[in-house]
Structure 1
Amino acid sequence: MVGGWQVVLLLTVLRGTGAQVPAGYEGCYVDQAVRNFPHEEKWDGQLTNARCVSHCRDKGYPYAATEFTFQCFCGTDAQFNTLPAAVPDWECSTDCTGNSGEKCGGPWRMSVYAVVALKNEIRLVGGGKEEEGRVEVRAYNTKDWGTVCSTGFDMDDARVACNMLGLGDPEFVRDTSYFGQGTGAIKMANLDCGGHESSLFDCSYNGPGSHSCSHGEDVGIVCGGVLSAGAIVGIVFGVLIFLVIVLTVTIICCQKNKTPGRVLGPAPPAGGAPTVVTSNVMYPAAGNATYIQQGVAYPMQSMQPVQPVQPVLYAQPNQPPAQFTPVPQAYDQAAKPPAV
C-alpha cells in the first residue's frame, strides 16, 4: 500500500515537471539505437529545452528532442508522424545540464517539442525560386502551417504578403492552386488588406471553419524580389569602373587635341642675351630676338608674319623711246608729194 507521503511526493514531481514545460511540448517518447530524430545531433553541457528548439529552428527542422540530460536531436514532420505512442511524462525525468529545474528526456527517452512560431509567419512553397510560391501562414506560438484561399485575394493582399517576406512589390497573383495544393487547415479566406498593413494577420479574414474554400483554391503569388548585398556591391563597383574609363578616355582625347601656342619669355635686359621664342610660325630675321624652328635659331625683327613683296609698278612713257621714228604726219590729199 502506497503511503500518503509517497502520493504527495509523486504529485509534486509531476506538477513541478509540468510547470517547466516550454511551449510546443508534444510528449515523452521512446527512442532507439537508430534514432527516431537522426538530424543535427548535438551534445550540450548547458542544454535546456529552449536551446535545443532554437538549434533545430536554425537548422530548419520543425521538431526538436532532448534526451538523457545533455543530448539534442532534430526531426521532420514525417519522422514525428511515425513515432510510436507517447509514454508517461515521468519517464522523461533527467535534469537538463543547463537548468536543473527542467527535464531533458531520460535514458532512451525523448522530450519532444514542436518548433513553434516566434511571431506570425508566412512562407512561399512550391515555386521555382524564392520570390514565388503557394502562400502559407502560421500564427504566433503555433506549429502548423496552413494555406490561404484565393477567394477575395487581390494585389493589395499580395503586397502585404510580399512585404512580410521582404521581397519587394508583388508582380502576379496565382489562383486555383497554380503552385500545387497544400495540406492541413486553410487558415485564411476572404482576406481584405488595404496594402499598407505590416502583416496579413492585421487584415480582416475568415479563419478555419468559417469559409467553404478547398485546397483547389490555394493562392500563390510572385513577388518582385530585391537585390542582394552582393549584387548591389557589384553594380556600384561596375559604375565606378565605367566612370574611371570615361574620365581616362576624356583626358587622353583632350591631350591629343591640344594645340601648342606661342610662348614668349620676358623682355631681355639691355645689352643682354636675345630672347628665345618658340613658335610654329616663321618670322622675318631682324632685331635681337631669336626664333627657333626645328632646332634652328633665327633673328626676329617683328612679331608679324612676312608680307609678300609687291612688284614695282613702272610708269608708262608719254613718248616713244628715242630709237623709234615719229609717226609721219597725215598727208593732205590735195597736196603734192614731197620732193625727193
Structure 2
Amino acid sequence: MWTQEIQCNGNESQIHFCPTSPSHKHSCSHDNNVGLVCAEMINVRLVNGNSPCSGTVEVLHRGQWGTVCDDGWDLADAAVVCRELDCGEPVDALSDAQVGLGSGPVWMNNAMCTGSESTLKKCGSVIWGFQGVCQSKSAGVICSGVRLVGGSRCSGRLEILHDQTWMSVCDAVFDQQDAEVVCRELDCGAPVQVLGAAAFDKEDTQMWTQEIQCRGNESQIHLCPTSLPHKYNCSHDNDVGLVCAGLSKLLLLH
C-alpha cells in the first residue's frame, strides 16, 4: 500500500508532481484499494478536410492540440490514424499543401509507424513533443470512410461511414458504377463481382437509407450524389457484398 497522502492541486501534468504528506494515519487494507474511471479522450483529430475522415492531423499532448511534421510521413502512419478514428482504410498520406494548415505546436516529428499500431501515440518517433519548427509540412490523411467486412481488404460486405456510424448498404440501391468507385477508393483495382448477403457474414448494423448514384468516375463514394431515402424494404438479407480485383502496384526494373 502507498503510505503517503497525495495532495494534488488538480492542475499537475503527472501524479508524481503532486505534493505528499508524511505517512497517513489511516488503517488501509486491500479492501480500500482505489479504482478510477476516466472519460475516454480523443487523442487525434483531422482538421480542414472536406469530411470527418480527411484533413490535417492534429494530436493532443499535455492538454494542447498540435500538428505532426510530415518528415517520413507515409501510408503506414496514415493507416494508424484512420484506424484510431474508425475511418476505414487509408487512401492517401498528405501534406498541408493539399489539406490546409493545422494549428498549435509541432508535437511529433518523423513518425515511424509500422501500420499495425492501434493509436498514433504508440508509434515510434525521432522526436515526440519537441515543439520545434517543422522544416517540411504538416502531415495529413485521407481515409476511405468505406470498408469491406468479412472477407479480405478487397472483398467483403460493404459498409459506409455516416455520422460516425458504420452502415450496411442495400443491394437495391447499389450498382456497377458504385462498385467501381468503392474499389478505386480502396486502391483495389476494378470490381470483379457484386454479391448478395449470403456471400459474407451478416452484422447487426444500421441500413444506409439513401440511394447512391455514382457516375463511376468519382474518387470517393462520399463524393457521389445520393437520392432521398429509398422506398425499398431492405433487411440484412439484402446487404450488398463486393469483390474487387485487388491489383497491386508493381515497380518493374530493367
Q: TM-score, normalised by structure 2?
A: 0.44
Structure with greater strand share of residues: 2
Higher relative contact order (CA 8 A, sep 6+): 2
Structure with greater helix share of residues: 1
Q: TM-score, normalised by structure 1?
A: 0.34
Q: Mark the structure with the bigger radius of gyration.
A: 1
